[in-house]
Structure 1
Amino acid sequence: MYCIVDLETTGGSATKSRVIEIAVYKTDGKKIVDSFSSLVNPGRPIPRHIINLTGITDEMVDNAPSFSEIIDQVEKITEDSVFVAHNVNFDYGFMRAEYERCGRQFIRKKLCTVRLSRQIIKNQPSYSLGKLSANLGIKLIGRHRAAGDAKATVELFHLLLKKDEYDVIPNSLKIRSLEALLPPNLPKNDFLALPEAQGIYYFKDARKKIIYVGQAKNIKQRVHSHFSGNSNSKSKHYFSVSIYSLDYQLVPNPLLLDLIEAIEIKKHWPRYNRSMKRFSLNFGIFKYEDRNGYLRLAIGRSGKHDRPIKSFKTHNQCIDALKEMLAEYALCPRLIGLQPLGSGKCNYIEEVNCKGACCGKEDAADYNKRVKEALRDKIEQKHTFILEEKEVNTKAIVLVEKGRLKGYASLGLDQKVESIEEAKELISATYDDQDLAWIIQKHLPRALKNDAVTYFK
């Protein structure tokens, strides 16, 4: 037995929105043998755009039963049946969420008539219920009402059963089938073609535009995880129905994996990526000269148009850099921003070997000389270097010239790069920005430990 289900809801999130109408038609595959439909009181106002879409108003559901009052009827008609819907994961997710709010579980086998239609009735201009019904001559009376949409889905499902020459439907019900898991518009073969290897993967929409870029140690496993699990958020639903195809590139090296993911996100600006797209205010160390001629350092937020001596991800990283200079160059804690501004000597003049610049005991020229030395050695470094990172049968090289990322390359383990000119001929050139700089900084300590950084003057 099959139960064709359609739900109307207050929104797209199964966890935050509620069902306002339900229709269930039970069929043996040839004819309807039972049915149930009802308006449902969601216990909250219906949003205006939902009223405009469905025609269901607050007044219509005021005296309707809550879902908890009809759950036994829903259970009775759907038990021991396959749950069928057009874009099944949407309706199934809402049904499961409503059951959970009632302290019960809803577990059924499920079939998606969008996915089935794409395999059995191929080359349709659209697989939305309205357009598909029109193209196939199915009457759809009461669009965006549960009973009307469910009745049309019954006719569509009966047609699919008749045209299923290659047992698509029975095979979709097998335990290891992915038909009920994958997004409605994504071909199963696209997923099956994914490798179980490290690399970058891409989700594309109907126009082949990249809408999401991700990285994974196991591409197939990571893509699978996007669609499994129990979350049924509005954003996940819209993300899922937007996916029409997949692509990938293998990237065995962890350094290149991080770099290429960031570069691809910035290049394509995918709709559903969040990281690497927002400019965030970092922290920076700023330099200025006070009215007494002493060079002062200060920690502040580093905006898009600010020009700090150096930017850091966190406030604590700024403090650590200043403390290092404080100890090594006998600087004044007050004048480098580690102690609040004030008059007189700093509180730690004895402990940190401050020579009294804070209270005028040390000449400004002598103090400023040490500040400049500290900045030159610790902060204002504009190194040129080639960083190598080896992995299995390949190695990645990254060229940084005068503190700016110039590009990267993937080479064989035996291939040596001994000059900047040689590196420039091999690399794929890229731009440099804050995010990419931090990726290099993340991998630099390991490379230094492995003696895999070559510096050039």
Structure 2
Amino acid sequence: MYCIVDIETTGNGIKGNKITEISIFKHDGHEIVDEYTSLVNPECEIPYFITRLTGIDGDMVRDAPTIAQIADDILAFTSDTIFVAHSVNFDYNIIKNELRALGREFSRKKLCTVRLSRKLLPGYHSYSLGKLCSALNLPLKDRHRARGDAHATTLLFEKLLHREGAEKVFKTFLNARSQEATLPAALPIESFEKLPAKPGVYYFKDGKGEILYVGKAINIKKRVLGHFYDKATKEVHLCRETAEIDFELSGSELLALLMESAAIKQHYPPFNRAQKKNIVPYAIFSYEDRKGILHLGFNKAKIAPKPLLIFYSPTDCRLFLEEVCQTYELCPKYCHLQEAVDQCSHFRLQSCKGICREKEETVDYNERVRKAITFILQKPKDLIIKEKGRKYGEDAFILIRDGNYSGYGFVEGDTPICYLEDIEPYLTPQKNTLECQRIVQSYLHKAGNELITIKLEQSALLS
């Protein structure tokens, strides 16, 4: 027994979305045997754009039952049936969330008429309910009302039931181990199955091949699956528009981060937000106070006098300064790691020799500050960062020249690399964006001594 369902709601997401109308047609596999349709009072305002789309406004639902009042009816009517809908995950999860909020559990096997149609009715340009009904000459009345859409979905479902090979396809889709019900309605399962469980970047694309979202992952397949299970409104919208997923292997997380950043800057996908914000650079600087004591401090680069070193995260900047303070036995107060204190009392940094308590000569303290400044200014400018390749026997590298990110490349592990010129044929040049600088710099601070320094004339061996 099947229940073909359609709902109208207060919005397009999952969380916080409220049902305004529900219609269910019970079908025995041959014909409609029962129907349940009702307006629902969402107990909240219905947005104007929803009213324009559905025609349902506050006046229509004011005297309608709430979801709490019809919960028993929905549970009883759909009991021991298979839940069917066009883009089933949307309708199913809305109903499940509404009932869960009432302390009621809702669990049914699911079938999606979009995915069934793609399998049993291949070759159509669009699998939206309206376009399919038009192409198949199925009547669709009262579009964007629950009963009209549910009835049209029922007619489509009947057509699918009688297609050649339908029984096998239905059984496959109902298999508990099948991922068909989890995937976005417009995404062919083949597109998901080709994804590797390896590091890299992935691209969500729409039906026209336009990139909707770029992401990075250590395990591409696992991360992509996480998008499908995420019920945040943004993720629901993304999955509903996704018709294809592509990927590129990176071999490592660092390279995946850099490749992701470059792809976002190139394609500017509508569902990427994080790297569209302006990055605020921070700088470490030095100055001498009226007592002749040398200070180290950090602030936004645009207001920092004569920056010694630029960072692209205040956290990275502070952590680096803490490391310098500890290494050169400096005072947290005079490194601006403690503000508005007479004497330092840092919970982690215990290296101060007493300059803040007048127990150390200024000349001795300043000498260590100058050594710290020399260290900061003499950070290596030319680097090759060696990373794991995309496959066995391959190495990846990231090239830093004159302190700037220049690009990345892949070489076979036995390739002789003796000079900088040996690397260039394998190099994929990249723009040195602020985001890339932040990624590389963060890695350098965490990597410690596991870096390979090069000179312009001659390169250290990668192996």
TM-score of the two chains, using structure 2 as the length reference: 0.84
The whole-number CA distance in structure 2 between the counterparts of 1:258 and 1:275 is 12
Query: Which amino acid is 1:99 matched to?
Result: L
**What's 1:136 paired with?**
136
Matched, 1:419 2:392: no
Q: Which residue of 1 aligns with 2:90?
A: 90
Tell me the distance in 2 between the aligned counterparts of 1:90 and 1:306.
Answer: 55
SS in structure 2 at match of 1:226: helix
- Work out the CA distance in 2 between the residues paired with 1:321 and 1:57: 58
Which residue is equivalent to 1:225?
A: 226
Kindly state the Cα deviation for residue 187 of structure 1 after the two structures are TM-superposed.
0.9
**Contact 1:330–1:354 under 8 Å retained in 2:** no
Equivalent in the alignment of 1:197 = 198
CA deviation digits over 1:12-40, x for unaligned, max 9? 23321210111000012221100001111
Q: Distance in 1 between matches of 2:106 and 2:303?
A: 50
Distance in 1 separating the partners of 2:330 and 2:44? 63
Structure 1 stretch displaced more, 186-195 or 60-69: 186-195
CA distance in 2, matches of 1:341, 1:31: 79
The aligned residue for residue 247 of structure 1 is 246
Alpha carbons of 1:241 and 1:104: their partners in 2 closer, same or farther (altered >3 Å)?
Answer: same
Q: What is the alpha-carbon distance in structure 2 between the residues aligned to residue 324 and residue 232 of structure 1?
A: 41
Give how far 1:2 is off: 1.0
Distance apart, 1:257 and its partner CA = 2.7
After superposition, the Cα gap between the structure-2 partners of 1:387 and 1:9, relative to the gap in structure 1 and judged at 3 Å, is: same
The aligned counterpart of 1:181 is 182
Encode CA deviations 1:168-192: one digit per residue, 9 max, x unaligned: 2232222222221110111111112
Aligned residues of 2:331 and 2:344 also touching (Cα < 8 A): no
Distance 1:368 1:144, change over 3 A: same
Q: Are the structure 2 counterparts of residues 378 and 356 from structure 1 closer, same or farther at C-alpha, using a change threshold of 3 Å?
A: farther
Which residue in the other structure is 1:234 paired with? 233
TM-superposed CA distance for 1:384, in Å, is 1.2
Distance 1:351 1:443, change over 3 A: closer
1:401 partner amino acid: R
Tell me if structure 2 keeps the 8 A contact 1:34–1:77: no
2:375 to 371, 374, 377: 377
Q: For each residue in 1:120-147, what CA deviation from the matched residue of structure 2 results, as whole angstroms up to 9, or x when unmatched? A: 2222232221222122222211111111
Q: Which amino acid aligns with 1:4?
A: I
User: CA separation of 1:333/1:258 partners in 2, compared to 1, >3 Å: closer, same or farther?
Assistant: closer
Conservation of the 8 A alpha-carbon contact between 1:3 and 1:78? yes
CA RMSD of aligned residues (A): 3.5
Q: CA deviation at 1:268?
A: 2.1
Q: Distance in 1 between matches of 2:132 and 2:255?
A: 44
Q: Partner of 1:10 in structure 2?
A: 10
CA–CA distance in structure 1, aligned partners of residues 52 and 314 of structure 2: 50
Tell me, what secondary structure is at the counterpart of 1:212? strand
Aligned to 2:127: 127
Counterpart residue number, 2:348: none
CA contact (8 A) 1:326 1:352 kept: no
Contact 1:4 1:26 in 2 (8 A): yes
Q: Contact (CA 8 Å) 2:397, 2:408: kept in 1 or not?
A: yes
Identity across matched positions, percent: 38
Structure 1 residues 317 and 235: alpha-carbon distance in aligned structure 2, compared to 1, 3 A threshold: closer
Map 1:417-456 → 2, pairs under 5 A: 417-444=417-444, 448-450=448-450, 452-456=451-455
Structure 2 equivalent of residue 399 of structure 1? 399
Kept in 1: contact 2:355–2:365 (CA 8 A): no
Q: Residues of 1 paired with 2:303 and 2:41: CA distance?
A: 50
Relative to structure 1, the CA distance from residue 303 to residue 190 in structure 2 (aligned partners, 3 Å threshold; closer, same or farther) is farther
Amino acid at match of 2:386: E
Task: State the distance in 2 between where 1:95 and 1:443 align.
Answer: 45
Q: 1:339, CA displacement in angstroms?
A: 6.3
Which range moved further: 130-139 or 93-102? 130-139
Q: Tell me how far apart the structure 1 counterparts of residues 65 and 46 of structure 2 sit (CA, whole Å).
A: 15
Q: Which amino acid aligns with 1:176?
A: R
Quote how far apart the aligned CAs of 1:288 are.
Answer: 6.3
SS at structure 2 position matched to 1:386 = strand
In the TM superposition, what is the alpha-carbon distance from 1:244 to its structure 2 partner? 0.7
Structure 2 runs not aligned, ≥5 long: 346-350, 457-463
- Secondary structure of 1:252's counterpart equals coil
SS of aligned partner of 1:456: coil
Check conservation: 1:310, 1:380, Cα contact below 8 A: no
1:307–1:137: structure 2 CA closer, same or farther, 3 Å change rule? farther
Residue number in structure 1 paired with 2:99: 99
Assess, with a 3 A threshold, how the Cα gap between structure 1 residues 27 and 377 changes in structure 2: closer, same or farther. same
Q: What pairs up with 1:2-401 in 2 under 5 angstroms? A: 2-165=2-165, 167=167, 168-228=169-229, 231-286=230-285, 297-302=296-301, 308-315=307-314, 317-322=316-321, 337=336, 352=353, 354=355, 374-379=372-377, 381=379, 383-390=381-388, 392-401=392-401
Unaligned runs of 5+ in 1: none
Q: Which moved more, 1:366-375 or 1:306-315?
A: 366-375
Q: Which moved more, 1:305-314 or 1:417-426?
A: 305-314
What displacement does 1:340 show?
A: 5.6
In 2, are the aligned partners of 1:330 and 1:353 still within 8 Å (CA)?
Answer: no
CA distance 1:123–1:419, shift in 2 (3 Å): same
Change (3 A) 1:439 1:169: same
Which residue type is aligned with residue 39 of structure 1? L
For structure 1, which segment, 274-283 or 288-297, has the greater mean C-alpha deviation from structure 2 after superposition?
288-297
Task: For 1:332 and 1:272, locate their aligned partners in 2 and report how far apart those are by CA, in whole Å.
Answer: 46
- Retained in 1: the 8 A contact 2:99–2:106? yes
Distance verdict in 2 for CA 1:298–1:416, change over 3 Å = same
Q: CA deviation at 1:218?
A: 3.0
Partners of 2:190 and 2:320 lie apart in 1 by: 52
Q: Does the residue aligned with 1:214 lie in a helix, a strand or coil?
A: strand
Q: Secondary structure at the match of 1:399?
A: strand
The answer to whether the 8 A contact 2:279-2:435 is kept is no
- SS of match in other structure, 2:263: helix
Does the 8 A contact of 1:2 with 1:28 survive in 2? Answer: yes
Output one character per residue of 1:174-221: Cα deviation in whole Å (capped at 9) or x when no partner: 222222111011111111222333332221112211212223333323
- Matched AA of 1:209: E
